Amino acid sequence: MDAQTIIARRVAKELRPGNLVNLGIGIPTLVANYVPEGLKVFFQSENGLIGTGPIPEQGMAHPLLTDAGGKPISALPGAATFDSAMSFGLIRGGHVDITVLGGLQVDAAGHLANWMIPGKMVPGMGGAMDLVSGAKRVIVAMQHAAKGKSKIVARCSLPLTSARPVDMVVTDMAVIAFPDGKATLMETAPGLKIAEVLAVTEAELAIPDVVPEMKL
């Protein structure tokens, strides 16, 4: 199983019946492919839709029905559309149960940086700051390391997305959560030893007595 599939499958296990879920661009988008059979959740697209469905079949796309990246999507029965004030009212107002975002860095206190690399890449925060500030649960879905460098750092060197810590980080190597504000290794990817995870983790992780393998 490749890294992205591991991450997306594991995040999908966090979804609960009836959840309103916002998926960011990139790996988070893949989570929709692994929703457990029979589980009904609502996906929000922040450009103004609840009830986002899969990519339409050929010839069935509508130019005025797109995801936040401007790509054609479909809408499921029961879908609703609205303007951006409503969309961000839902997000900031605590009506979104889970947001899944990509990340550049997450630090030992659970702070996320995911919107700019000063002087190099400044795309903008889009909806990320509102999502991290307002969603009930924030899950970061990202690779554990980039070019051999840990993305789980002691302290974010990049500008923060929010002062609010995230709830969970799912990587291709581990699940990390922040009980009592301390980064804690909750699970390891199948076949990986704790020491192998720690070898590519810059942040200090608390290690519980039992660290199970991810169930995918």
Rounded Cα distance, 133 and 205, in Å: 24
Q: Which two tokens stand for residue 112?
A: 């996320």
Any contact of residue 63 with another protein (CB under 8 A)? yes
Does 129 bind another protein (CB under 8 A)? Our answer is yes
> What are phi and psi for residue 155, nearest 5 degrees?
-150, 135
Give the angle 29-35-36 at the CA atoms, nearest 5°. 165
The piece of 117-125, 145-153, 168-176, 180-188 that touches another protein (CB under 8 A) is 117-125
Fill in the per-residue mask, 139 to 178: x = in contact with another protein (CB under 8 A), - = not in contact.
--------------------xxxxx---------------
Counting contacts by CB under 8 A, is residue 56 touching another protein?
A: no
d(CA 148, CA 99): 27
193: Cα separation from own chain's centroid: 24
Nearest to another protein of 34, 51 (CB atom):
51
Q: Of residues 14, 37, 46, 57, which has the active-site annotation?
A: 46
Active site residue 46: yes
Question: What residue has token string 């199948």?
Answer: 190
Q: Among the candidate windows 31-39, 59-67, 167-175, 181-189, which touches another protein by CB under 8 A?
A: 59-67
Give the Cα separation of 212 and 185 in Å (integer): 10
The token pair that represents 118 in the structure block:
């000063």
Query: Which one among 37, 59, 78, 121 touches another protein, defined by CB under 8 A?
Result: 121
Closer by beta carbon to another protein, 60 or else 194: 60
Tell me: does residue 33 bind another protein (CB under 8 A): no
Q: How far is CA 172 from CA 64, 108, 122, 167, in A?
A: 35, 18, 26, 17
Q: Which residue, 61 or 216, has its beta carbon nearer to another protein?
A: 61
Q: Which of residues 72-111 bind another protein (CB under 8 A)?
A: 75, 81-85, 87-88, 91-92
Ramachandran quadrant class, 148 (left: phi over 0; alpha: psi -120 to 50; beta: rest): left
Q: Catalytic residues, which ones?
A: 46
Residues making contact with another protein (CB under 8 A)? 45-49, 62-66, 68-70, 75, 81-85, 87-88, 91-92, 119, 121-130, 133-134, 159-163
